[in-house]
Structure 1
Amino acid sequence: MFLITGATGNNGREIVKQLLAAGQSIRILIRDQKKAADLKALGVEIATGDFDHPERLEQALQGIEKALLLSANTPQQVEQEQNFINAAKRARTKHIVKFSAAGADIDSSILILKWHSQAEQYLEQSGIAFTHLRPTFFMQNLLQFAAPTQTEVYLPFADATIAMVDIRDIAAVATAVLTENGHADKAYTITGSEALTMNQAVEQISQVRGNLLKYVAVQPENFKQRLMQWGQSEWFADALTELFTPIAHGSQSAITTAIADVAKKQPVTFNQFTQDYASVFKG
């Protein structure tokens, strides 16, 4: 049995679904059972708790050999992930798959990337086998930024190319890592098979929408203000702007073969993504 954290988020939910499709038994750790009613109906086991209560974490990890560590980006992220790793060690969990981010680096000036790296290093030093998953910008992020009511996409990416990845492919890699041997003590940067500019991506979205969508390359400070106008807290708006800004300088332009190598499948192309989500883009 696997323990999956972050199961009610977009990535966690897709990982759960692919593990279930592979015939695996799953326990999920959630704070609010109401948010997981659909997953419970699929047959997953529910453990209630959160990263701030180590005793509940240890209970959830009992009998678990492999676990997925996927937590939200918050100022308490490193401490919370350390709590999970410590609980896993006490529960004798053998392998933790850490959901991280492309560019995670202990020396990074970008807080989220630094925090991911700090948690990675703590896991590496724990004595538990580890695998780090480091995906790039998710294609599904554009479902929010290019909502049907919008005529313009505001992102701070300039004209840089981005090797965006579909979360279904991230889940395929995670499923392979959890269910197969040979992935211990490795890190995978997960990208799509093509690097597109945001202008190119928005053009393809326009085609499936049937009406024009325009990309506006905003400056970071303007992007932050828009995030706050959309209801994000100032802390998260700052953190997301800081995370996205290096993309304009090509930080996510490189393409890897992790999906083909690990999940043994070809990555979803951006064109396929837009076709699959056409009804969402059209509203």
Structure 2
Amino acid sequence: MYVIFGASGNAGFATAAALRQAGRAVRAVVRDTRHGARLAALGCEVALADLTDLASVAAAMRGAQAVQMLCPVPVADADPEATMRKVIDVAAEALRADPPETVLALSDYGAELDANTGITRLFHYLEEQLKPIAGRLILLRSAEHMQNWRRTIPAALASGVLPSFHHPLNKRFPTVAAQDVGTASAELLLDAARGNGTRVVSIEGPRRISAAYVADVLAEIGGQEMVARELPREQWTPVLLRAGLSERHARLITDLYDVHNAGKIDVEFGMHERRFGKTELIEVFAPIVAGLRTEARLQGA
């Protein structure tokens, strides 16, 4: 049995689908029963779990040959760092009590850094907690997900201006489609030839991009003029607070982009096992823009 946490998300769903296509039994773990229908349609066993509750997480893992761990950053949480650390601690305790043959953790570029890297610091904590537990541990570190731009796209299409935390606008940085991360995860879980120990794998997309390139892609899809603009550093926190984030959540993001713009978030130096997704940015953005336009038409009808 392959147990996939976060199976309703883009990466987790892709992992579950690939494993089912390979004929493997999959238990898809979700936090809301409303997200289970399409996973059940794949032939997955669907389990409901509260990631902060040990009994719930342990029950979801029971009988697992392999577990894919995803520790999402909580949304609308006053203290997302404390909540995420609790989720990690609960997962680690459940794995210690009943360790599967393989644990794969979805992690981040820069997770090797023991420093103030904002959100990425929590993935460092995840990796450190799992290393002493799993006999066969795979750390799949991914670049920034292309889907993260979705929060910015509606305002950009409305104004013709794409605000960017990435400075400068021509700086090229790694990014990846979430579904490519999920597919790579399934391939790694199915690779039974590897022995025990910790295996670190990085994944990013087919090309590195810039904020200016993101604006060009949006202009092409939207059929309109689009310009990227650096969001001044002093505006980062106010913008995030207006978007509904708590002060502590906003700080995690601003700290991350500070180190990102300083060039410190990338593939770990000397790391040899690298993978590259095939999905281009335009393939991710096109359905997002189409969906937004459909919503606008329905609201205007």
TM bin, normalised by shorter chain, reads 0.7 to 0.9
CA distance in 2, matches of 1:27, 1:125: 25
CA distance in 2, matches of 1:253, 1:125: 25
Aligned to 2:77: none
TM score, norm. by length of structure 2: 0.82
3-state SS of the aligned residue for 1:162? coil
- Is 2:54 the counterpart of 1:38? no
Aligned to 1:214: 227
CA distance in 2, matches of 1:183, 1:213: 50
TM score, norm. by length of structure 1: 0.87
- Is 2:280 the counterpart of 1:269? yes
User: In the TM superposition, what is the alpha-carbon distance from 1:110 to its structure 2 partner?
Assistant: 1.9
User: In the TM superposition, what is the alpha-carbon distance from 1:77 to its structure 2 partner?
Assistant: 1.9
Structure 1 residues 123 and 104: CA distance shift in structure 2, 3 A: same
The amino acid that maps onto 1:259 is R
CA distance in 2, matches of 1:24, 1:72: 25
Correspondences of 1:237-256 after superposition (within 5 Å): 237-252=250-265
The amino acid that maps onto 1:61 is M
CA distance in 2, matches of 1:272, 1:257: 26
- Is 2:165 the counterpart of 1:152? no
How many residues are aligned here?
278
CA distance in 2, matches of 1:100, 1:253: 13
Which of 104-113 and 273-282 deviates more? Answer: 273-282
Correspondences of 1:1-283 after superposition (within 5 Å): 1-73=1-73, 74=80, 75-147=82-154, 148-159=157-168, 160-181=171-192, 182=194, 185-252=198-265, 258-260=274-276, 267-274=278-285, 279-280=290-291
Structure 1 residues 183 and 115: CA distance shift in structure 2, 3 A: farther
For the 8 Å contact 2:202–2:267, the answer to whether it is kept is: no
User: In the TM superposition, what is the alpha-carbon distance from 1:281 to its structure 2 partner?
Assistant: 6.8
CA distance in 1, matches of 2:258, 2:10: 23
For the 8 Å contact 2:3–2:27, the answer to whether it is kept is: yes
Q: CA RMSD in A?
A: 2.5
For the 8 Å contact 2:166–2:230, the answer to whether it is kept is: yes
Structure 1 residues 36 and 149: CA distance shift in structure 2, 3 A: farther
CA distance in 1, matches of 2:92, 2:185: 18
Percent identical: 19
Instruction: Provide Cα deviations, 1:212-252, integer angstroms capped at 9, x if missing partner.
Output: 22212113331222122122222222212222232323345
CA distance in 1, matches of 2:186, 2:12: 11
For the 8 Å contact 1:64–1:93, the answer to whether it is kept is: yes
CA distance in 2, matches of 1:257, 1:163: 16
Unaligned runs of 5+ in 1: 261-265
For the 8 Å contact 2:66–2:101, the answer to whether it is kept is: yes
The amino acid that maps onto 1:154 is P
The amino acid that maps onto 2:248 is W
CA distance in 2, matches of 1:174, 1:31: 21
User: In the TM superposition, what is the alpha-carbon distance from 1:98 to its structure 2 partner?
Assistant: 0.7
Unaligned runs of 5+ in 2: 74-79, 295-301
User: In the TM superposition, what is the alpha-carbon distance from 1:94 to its structure 2 partner?
Assistant: 1.5
